[in-house]
Amino acid sequence: MSAQVKDTHLAILEAGRKEFMEYGYEGASLRRIAREASVTTGAIYGYFPSKEALFDALTGDAADGLMEKYRQVHDEFAGLSPSEQAASLDHITDETIPWMINYIYDRFDIFKLFFCKNSAGSCDSYFAQLVKIEEKSSWDFINAMKESGHEVMDIDDTLIHILSRSFFQHILEFVAHDVPREKALSYSLVLGTFQHAGWKKIMGL
């Protein structure tokens, strides 16, 4: 990639970031992006085939990275023995939540775009994937505890979904309301501790 092509690519990305942040995905105009980047609208299509592709270039890597790391954490938890899973509830919050909050806050503008300025339904679809990972992990944990002889409370799919969704709603609120990183970390650790204490009660631990 030549220096001129690289500079134009970066100029379009920066102009796109400003446009999406101000107008959101639906209201963003490629014409305004082109004007801000000092290129023609046609030139933008030489770099990005659509407005969606431009938005994805700005947010996709960060969002994919969060998803992959979250899946990895749950896969590692599932690989523990039932006794190790039960014991880890006392410290998993302090280990898992900070990396997630810091990952997001290290890329705050990107996640502000992704969570708050995305196309209709896209953020919901993304959170649905995260919730699905959480739900599977919850059921795996429940089954492991039952097999270990713990008296697990009766719980159904709807309640699991509500519990799983609530954590991500907190994160969305932090970003949407520009909660400072330190407070987001503090709040999320308290909320995580609260939730895991509830899980211990549910699991009969």
pLDDT digits 0-9 by tens, 54-113: 999 999 999 999 999 999 988 988 888 888 888 887 777 777 889 999 999 999 999 999
% of the chain beyond a pLDDT of 70: 100
Q: What is the pTM of this model?
A: 0.89
**At how many degrees (to 10) do helices 92-105 and 157-176 cross?**
40
Specify the higher pLDDT residue, 90 or 184.
Answer: 184
Instruction: Report CA-CA distances (Å) from 192 to 4, 43, 72, 145.
Output: 48, 47, 19, 20
pLDDT tens sequence across 13-34 = 999 999 999 999 999 999 999 9
